[in-house]
Amino acid sequence: MFLIRDQIYKYVENNSEEFWTDNDPMIDEVTKIGQVFKDNGALTFRYGTLSTGSDAGHRVFGVTYPSMDSIEKAYDAANDHPIYQKALSTIDVDFRNIIRFYD
């Protein structure tokens, strides 16, 4: 199994009340983006906020896939999807990494 972890920074000040509440304005978009990934090979997706360390306040979007081929298929589909394009215009992807788990 593979996990891709995107650490994103939404354009909100770290001290903002919105940053530390459950009222995340991107939750609906992230849910739709996650569904695009699932429709194209992803197994699961999760979204959350880092609460400690130097990246506290940054959002994390984790997606699991059964293979590298499914990762490529999902990102090809997402790159052509208007919801994903809209989200990319309002966030910065700080980094993306792939972790492989062996059984």
| Total number of domains in the chain | 1
Q: Between residues 22 and 56, which one has the greater pLDDT?
A: 56
- What pLDDT was estimated at residue 1? 53
Q: What is the CATH number of the domain that holds 13?
A: 3.30.70.100
- What pLDDT was estimated at residue 32? 85
What percent of the chain lies above the pLDDT cut of 70?
Answer: 75
Q: How far apart are CA 4 and CA 48, in angstroms?
A: 14
Q: What is the mean pLDDT of the segment spanning 44-59? A: 82
Q: How far apart are CA 70 and CA 72, in angstroms?
A: 5
What percent of the chain lies above the pLDDT cut of 90?
Answer: 12
- Could you tell me the residue range of the domain that residue 15 belongs to? 2-100
Q: What is the mean pLDDT of the segment spanning 24-48? A: 85
